[in-house]
């Protein structure tokens, strides 16, 4: 199953993704896309690390997400990606070909064995940003989310810690 969990900052999306992974009883590989470029981000990363089960394997991959998914996917395994918007930010900052990375990810999804839970920030519900790079980030996020939502079996919007199923089976 492919799942996309969207929500705003501090909406509970990561906690929900981690809860779903824990409840599965399967091996979990946590794929972190964040980079600790400043002290505040380092603290956020540390907070996430402290709340994850110690038996989960952690892979830090800020750019080459598709290759990591391809290498790590297996039938009895859950891949939890947190988060896609940080991945997009990393691609923007490296001036990478976002369309190529997005298309590679989208092409991989149908044939990926096992379960995939992807977390991402919903950034399209506010005002249009003034800066060019901020507008591009918002546009790229929206394009990615729409394409993923069509390809995922379940899509959840998390608001104030409450999951709202937009597509797919209910949470058990």
CA distance 69 to 104: 11
Asked if 80 contacts 58 with a C-beta cutoff of 8 angstroms, the reply is: no
d(CA 72, CA 79): 8
Catalytic site residue 48?
A: yes
Annotated active-site residue in 47, 48, 51, 64: 48
Say if residues 10 and 61 touch (Cβ distance below 8 Å). no
Residues paired with residue 155 on neighbouring β-strands, in sequence order? 4, 167
**C-alpha distance across the termini of the chain, in Å:** 15
Residues acting as catalytic residues = 48
């Amino acid at each position: 199953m492919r799942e996309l969990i969207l929500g705003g900052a501090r909406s509970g999306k990561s906690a929900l993704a981690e809860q779903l992974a824990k409840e599965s009883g399967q091996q979990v590989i946590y794929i972190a896309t964040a980079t600790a470029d400043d002290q505040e981000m380092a603290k956020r990363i540390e907070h996430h690390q402290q709340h994850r089960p110690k038996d989960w394997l952690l892979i830090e991959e800020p750019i080459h997400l598709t290759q990591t998914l391809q290498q790590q996917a297996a039938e009895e395994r859950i891949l939890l990606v947190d988060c896609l918007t940080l991945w997009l930010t990393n691609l923007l900052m490296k001036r990478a070909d976002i369309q190529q990375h997005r298309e590679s990810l989208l092409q991989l999804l149908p044939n990926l064995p096992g379960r995939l839970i992807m977390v991402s920030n919903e950034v399209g519900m506010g005002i249009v940003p003034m800066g060019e790079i901020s507008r591009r980030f918002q546009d790229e996020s929206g394009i990615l989310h729409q394409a993923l939502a069509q390809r995922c079996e379940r899509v959840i919007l998390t608001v104030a810690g409450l999951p709202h199923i937009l597509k797919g089976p209910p949470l058990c």
